[in-house]
């Protein structure tokens, strides 16, 4: 899966793309939808390179969903053309500085499914909600997920209002309808579907990569005081669908090829059923991608990092998410979004939510300026970051996924 577009020694004529700290070197080439800031012009498909954007209008690419529907061979061919256009020695073409643009969602998101692949998060949250039975018996056998609300997915930088819902304190006889006091983040990646499958026609685990277009950062905001009352028995509802923030950038699976690692299960754990398993899948279905949570209050000048985790901690792979989703004949479509669920590591410093970091709100976090937080207050900004790096390859970043909570309506 590696080719000349992963060669770390090839530089770009775009100077900022050669900075070792950039998210978008020549070897990345992520997609977005953008327009000039403050204009009324239509949004266009672009590719990030350093601190610039290449407009793909002149390339005949006006609809990212249509590109996502193409076979992976055609997408790789486009990547090769982009690489050759932007590498040192190629004639320079017009670019637009990223600071001069505004973004919208990178594509049309028809459906959104949120999985629950982070086993360390599942255990930690399970201990808070179900101390005697933190990990339900199906978790290690079937990829758990639920269908979310695509209409409330917003692009990075979009403010979200504090949600209201039914809350029932443990000692209360009846619930009350009120603004959530326990708004939380969830550190996730989102997988965008490429070519879909026809209704009633599932695909095998070794075909899953053909249906994966790329990854984006995803914060599936949660109202932790609404969630435990309403999630019984059907699962998440209003505690989750008030807003989901994603990065404006989609990093393609081709760009992430150098960071694939073997998929393994801890010794003694159940192995996946045959439809979710194969030698090829075990060889390279996981990814080594660092994930971070950053936090900034209105009184802080700079954000501070709260935690760092890694996608390698996911109990189920991206390919297994795709394969299981379609295994009953469900028809996935180009642009559908599949969230990984919160990806926490085994240590407290690797927690992907405030719920875990504060032990259910019992242990406040002390920030560098002395302020304390258990959950998100109005005006607080949460940011997610992600990157993949490996000796011999360029660092691949995912851009920003930032959101701020504003007062309830």
Active site residues: 121
CB 176, CB 148: distance < 8 Å: no
List Cβ neighbours of 400 (8 Å cut-off, separation of 6 or more). 156, 157, 217, 247, 383, 384, 385
Contact 218, 341 (CB under 8 A): no
Sign of the CA dihedral 358, 363, 364, 367?
A: negative
* Phi, psi of 137, rounded to the nearest 5 degrees: -65, -20
Calpha distance 30→251 (Å, rounded)? 5
């Amino acid at each position: 899966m590696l080719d000349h577009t992963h060669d770390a020694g090839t530089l770009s004529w775009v100077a900022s793309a050669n900075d070792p700290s950039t998210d978008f070197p020549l070897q990345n080439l992520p997609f977005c939808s953008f327009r000039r800031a403050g204009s009324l012009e239509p949004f266009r498909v672009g590719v990030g390179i350093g601190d610039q954007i290449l407009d793909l209008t002149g390339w005949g690419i006006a609809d990212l969903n249509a590109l996502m529907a193409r076979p992976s061979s055609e997408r790789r061919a486009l990547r090769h053309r982009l690489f050759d256009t932007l590498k040192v020695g190629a004639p320079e073409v017009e670019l637009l500085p990223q600071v001069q643009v505004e973004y919208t969602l990178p594509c049309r998101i028809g459906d959104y499914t949120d999985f629950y692949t982070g086993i360390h998060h599942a255990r930690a949250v399970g201990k808070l909600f179900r101390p005697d039975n933190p990990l339900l018996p199906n978790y290690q056998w079937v990829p758990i997920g639920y269908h979310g609300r695509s209409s409330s997915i917003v692009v990075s930088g979009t403010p979200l209002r504090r949600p209201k819902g039914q809350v029932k304190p443990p000692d209360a006889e009846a619930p009350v309808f009120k603004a959530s006091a326990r708004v939380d983040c969830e550190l996730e990646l989102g997988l965008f579907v490429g070519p879909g499958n026809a209704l009633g026609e599932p695909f095998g685990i070794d075909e899953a990569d053909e249906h994966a277009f790329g990854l984006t950062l995803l914060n599936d905001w949660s109202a932790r005081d609404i969630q435990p009352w309403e999630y019984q028995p059907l699962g998440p509802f209003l505690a989750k669908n008030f807003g989901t923030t994603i990065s404006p950038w989609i990093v393609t699976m081709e760009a992430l090829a150098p960071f694939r690692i073997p998929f393994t299960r801890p010794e003694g754990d159940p192995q996946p059923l045959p439809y979710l398993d194969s030698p090829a899948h075990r060889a390279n279905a996981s990814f080594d991608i660092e994930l971070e949570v950053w936090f900034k209050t209105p009184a802080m000048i700079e954000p501070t990092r709260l935690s760092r985790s890694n996608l390698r901690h996911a109990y189920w792979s991206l390919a297994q998410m795709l394969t299981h989703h379609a295994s009953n004949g469900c028809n996935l479509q180009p642009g559908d979004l599949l969230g990984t669920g919160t990806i926490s590591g085994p240590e407290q410093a690797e927690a992907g939510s405030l719920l875990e970091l504060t032990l259910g709100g019992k242990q406040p976090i002390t920030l560098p300026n002395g302020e304390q937080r258990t959950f998100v207050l109005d005006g607080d900004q949460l940011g997610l970051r992600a990157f993949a790096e490996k000796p011999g390859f360029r660092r691949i970043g995912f851009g920003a996924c930032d959101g701020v909570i504003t007062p309830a309506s």
